[in-house]
Structure 1
Amino acid sequence: MKTRERRAVRPGVFTVACLLALSVVSGCNGSSSDRAGGGPYRGPSACGRSTRVVRVSDSSELRRALDDAHPGDVIWLGSAAYKGAFTATRSGTRRSHITLCGTSSAVLDSGSVNHHYTLHLDGADYTDVRGLTIERGLKGIMADGWSHGTIDHVTVRDIGEEGIHLRRSSSNDTISNCRISDTGSADLHDAHHSGEGIYIGSSYNNWDRYTGGHPDSSDNVRITHNTFSRTAAENVDVKEGTVGGLISRNTFDGSGMDPKAADSWVDIKGNHYTVSRNRGFSAPVDGFQTHVQLPGWGVGNVFTANVVHVDAGGYGFDIDKAGAANVVRCNNVVTSAASGRSDVRCR
């Protein structure tokens, strides 16, 4: 169908570890120029197949476009600051996604790290977010019941709590090539501070609130090729109730973490995750952890071919012994972990 348009965007020691491990794991190259430049989305035609291009240049036009979105729409954000909080509720289809797209110069800014979700994907299945910058807001991108969507080459920064949070059984989604930094800056928390880079699911303490007392089955989420820095809590936090995700080829950095909020880059409490080919350095204590918050959860996770420079007093992999069938492969490369590679035997 013809497209229509209408108006309505530390190298150092760690590098040595990478070089030593080239025979074990690939992917030690630096970030691509695409990532550094905000992504490959230089115009609507790069955003994916479309049946209609909707160009916007200010907050009012963006809100109208979101309210009127149809399957196959590419909502193209021109380079501008889009002030306020934005919500997407319309769904695409398997063959015709709705795509919110622009360069990194299209900046969604809610104006305060203490209030609002800068972008809320609320039941907006088959909706993709590509290339934009998301800043300020209590949460950067909050997804509730959002499935079969993609967040790609998005910069998320200066956020009060979580950078990206998938909740209320958001499933079969992909978060890729994103840069997430400076989370957890809200003034709202003291003893229980948050600020995860990516947060999958919800704590069992909140299942009554979010999922009617059932596990928050935010399953089969792929987290790949992302870069994290200065997150107050974990770079990635995976909650009990979630199953079957992939965490691969990311770069983790524990510098700037709040010791009250996190003691590892990645904390997995869900089941049957594959954690592979990631890089990490400057861990707060451990590199990767599993925990059993409820019986039957925190099991069956596999850690393979990761290359990490812990530079801290813990393990590369700290595995909760109460969780069955978690596997740390012997092909993981761990340096400068004072306690050793892992607290379980590698396989």
Structure 2
Amino acid sequence: MRISRTLLLAGTAGAAILLLAPLTASAAAASLTAAFTQSSVWSSGYGAEYTVTNRGDAAASGWVVEFDLPAGSTVSSSWDSTRTSTGQHHRFANASWNGTVAAGASVRFGFNVSGTGVPSNCTVNGAPCAGGPAPSPTSARPSSPAPSVPSSPVPSTPPTSGSTVDVSTAAQLQAALAGARPGQTIRLAPGVYDGSFIGTTPGTAAAPITVTGPRTAILTNPASAGSGPSCPVPTPGWDPGYGIWLAGAPYWRLAGFTVADAKKGVILDDSPHVTIDGLYVHHIGDEGVHFRRSSSDGVIRNSTIEYTGTVQPAYGEGVYLGSANSNWACHGNSGGVDRSDRVQVLDNHIGPYVAAEHIDVKEGTVDGVIRGNTFDGRGIAGQNSADSWVDVKGTGYLIQGNTGTFAPPGTFANGYETHNPVAGSGCGNVWRDNVSDLGGVGRYAINVTSTSKCAGNLNVVHTSNSVTNATGGLTNITPTAG
């Protein structure tokens, strides 16, 4: 064999390459990219996140994203990472629980910026965020070491603003919520947290309060206990059975963890500017997520909601925006109306076995966005007239780029419906680019129940919407080009 190998190497260059190529194959390696997106924008700043994706063929064991902001803009708070800032340069290292990125997988971290400038000179592990070879060690930007993450138990006194509180038991979580301060992050370890979890401290735009953890951190609360007021407000000795409840608590962020086996899932009362990101909500007695009592300007995104209405199918909505006018005496805290306005429902997976509407948009709410969601209609119960993916009783909503399907079991009438329970409601909504498969059961992808009640502010269904397997068609009104 030694003679044959010598003869081959002495032959043509092509033969030598064919022989040696298997001997020089490269080892599997990770290859990270980082993509920037703005999640919300206000006059003096914005919220954003980076998605770190491993496009290689081996797992990455850690990541560091760095970038610069222009003068006049600075990172005011962050989550799901460990941040170090020097002047206009910002460095984000992975947290203890999200450093491993499997091949083909992604992780995210977020931050708020005071100012309007956007990141530049972004690198991930020293290489360009868009991908490409890493610079040599001698030319890479020097960076300060990441600060260590404390592993001590939750302190008995409230930590200072901007700190991270690690919790691993229900009692620790309850104490952390009670002692929360603006800018603080409450970080859940994997495990089951069974109890009543209520946040009542307001965050601020520059310093939101964050509760975050992996999907294996599970909040449960299967039954109410004690007696409380007929209009729910936090009351000593009363547990309403909610998975997590924010009351009078604007500017919070709930990220990553699971809420399951609760009477209701995530309830927001009088808590505007709340972001729900990447939660898993399932096996809930009534509704999964409820923006209630004028919880305006919120966002729910990248979340999965399924198996709701397990106790009361008629009240098993996936996402519930506002309140029915019959409940305004209780929840109508803005001139007698529940003004949970301008809520964005983005890129969620809702269903199967969401017993009522996947999204129920109540009268009195305005100017929300429902975009990029996936609706799985299996298991819609049809109780209390809940027989569609989305029921729009609000006004001025954009419903765009969603994908809906239906298959048995369940009761299904139309993909999207409008209703007009009070004057001016259910009007001025716009549908674009939605894809609907009605499973041979549903009549219309978009059923507009009245035009006479929306004079001067008609609902608009664009021809960019599509439908298959409908007994009726795309819509019961004349579609608009575009």
- What is the TM-score normalised by the length of structure 1? 0.84
Partner Cα distance (1:68, 1:48) in 2: 22
Q: 1:93-132 maps to which residues of 2 (within 5 A)? A: 93-112=204-223, 116-132=241-257
Residue 164 in 1 paired to residue 289 in 2? yes
1:20 alignment counterpart:
none
Which residue type is aligned with residue 136 of structure 1? D
User: Do 1:47 and 1:130's aligned partners in 2 also have CA atoms closer than 8 Å?
Assistant: no
Of 417, 424, 445, 1:316 maps to: 445
Q: Deviations over 1:51-82 (max 9, x none)?
A: 21100000111011111111110100001110
Secondary structure class of the residue paired with 2:424: coil
Question: CA 1:77–1:346 in structure 2 vs 1: closer, same or farther (change >3 Å)?
Answer: same
CA shift, 1:161, in A, is: 0.4
Partner Cα distance (2:218, 2:263) in 1: 16
User: Do 1:291 and 1:298's aligned partners in 2 also have CA atoms closer than 8 Å?
Assistant: yes
Question: CA 1:56–1:47 in structure 2 vs 1: closer, same or farther (change >3 Å)?
Answer: farther
Partner Cα distance (1:249, 1:124) in 2: 27
User: Do 1:113 and 1:160's aligned partners in 2 also have CA atoms closer than 8 Å?
Assistant: no
1:18 alignment counterpart:
none
Residue 218 in 1 paired to residue 337 in 2? no
Partner Cα distance (2:95, 2:374) in 1: 28
CA shift, 1:48, in A, is: 4.2
1:296 alignment counterpart:
424
Farther off after superposition, 113-122 or 231-240: 113-122
1:54 alignment counterpart:
165
Which residue type is aligned with residue 301 of structure 1? N
Partner Cα distance (2:466, 2:368) in 1: 22
Of 232, 235, 239, 2:358 maps to: 235
Which residue type is aligned with residue 145 of structure 1? D
1:263 alignment counterpart:
387
Q: Deviations over 1:264-313 (max 9, x none)?
A: 10000000000000000007120000100011111100000111111123
Structure 1 gaps, min length 5: 1-31, 35-39
Question: CA 1:55–1:48 in structure 2 vs 1: closer, same or farther (change >3 Å)?
Answer: farther
CA shift, 1:113, in A, is: 8.8
Secondary structure class of the residue paired with 1:317: strand
Secondary structure class of the residue paired with 2:330: helix
CA shift, 1:333, in A, is: 1.0
Q: Deviations over 1:131-184 (max 9, x none)?
A: 010011111001100111100000000000000011100000000001000000
1:325 alignment counterpart:
458
Partner Cα distance (2:176, 2:262) in 1: 21
Q: Deviations over 1:74-116 (max 9, x none)?
A: 1000011101121011111111110000000110011349961
Question: CA 1:90–1:113 in structure 2 vs 1: closer, same or farther (change >3 Å)?
Answer: closer
1:272 alignment counterpart:
396
Which residue type is aligned with residue 210 of structure 1? H
2:9 alignment counterpart:
none
1:69 alignment counterpart:
180
User: Do 1:113 and 1:185's aligned partners in 2 also have CA atoms closer than 8 Å?
Assistant: no
Partner Cα distance (1:206, 1:222) in 2: 22
Q: 1:157-196 maps to which residues of 2 (within 5 A)? A: 157-186=282-311, 189=312, 193-196=314-317
Partner Cα distance (2:201, 2:367) in 1: 27
User: Do 2:221 and 2:262's aligned partners in 1 also have CA atoms closer than 8 Å?
Assistant: yes
User: Do 2:391 and 2:416's aligned partners in 1 also have CA atoms closer than 8 Å?
Assistant: yes
Partner Cα distance (1:172, 1:246) in 2: 10
1:335 alignment counterpart:
468
2:264 alignment counterpart:
139
Which residue type is aligned with residue 297 of structure 2? N
Which residue type is aligned with residue 244 of structure 1? D
Which residue type is aligned with residue 327 of structure 1? V
Question: CA 1:60–1:125 in structure 2 vs 1: closer, same or farther (change >3 Å)?
Answer: same
Secondary structure class of the residue paired with 2:326: helix
User: Do 1:74 and 1:98's aligned partners in 2 also have CA atoms closer than 8 Å?
Assistant: yes
Residue 346 in 1 paired to residue 454 in 2? no
CA shift, 1:43, in A, is: 3.1
Which residue type is aligned with residue 477 of structure 2? V
User: Do 2:303 and 2:347's aligned partners in 1 also have CA atoms closer than 8 Å?
Assistant: yes
User: Do 1:131 and 1:153's aligned partners in 2 also have CA atoms closer than 8 Å?
Assistant: yes
Which has the greater radius of gyration? 2
Partner Cα distance (2:413, 2:378) in 1: 11
Residue 88 in 1 paired to residue 199 in 2? yes
1:247 alignment counterpart:
370
Residue 209 in 1 paired to residue 334 in 2? no
Which residue type is aligned with residue 325 of structure 1? L
Higher relative contact order by CA 8 Å / sep ≥ 6: 1 or 2? 1
Partner Cα distance (1:71, 1:313) in 2: 47
Pairwise CA RMSD of aligned residues? Answer: 2.2
Of 13, 32, 43, 2:95 maps to: 43
Which residue type is aligned with residue 142 of structure 1? I
User: Do 2:210 and 2:254's aligned partners in 1 also have CA atoms closer than 8 Å?
Assistant: yes
Residue 79 in 1 paired to residue 207 in 2? no
2:45 alignment counterpart:
none
Instruction: Percent identity, please.
Output: 38
Question: CA 1:313–1:111 in structure 2 vs 1: closer, same or farther (change >3 Å)?
Answer: closer
Partner Cα distance (2:331, 2:404) in 1: 32
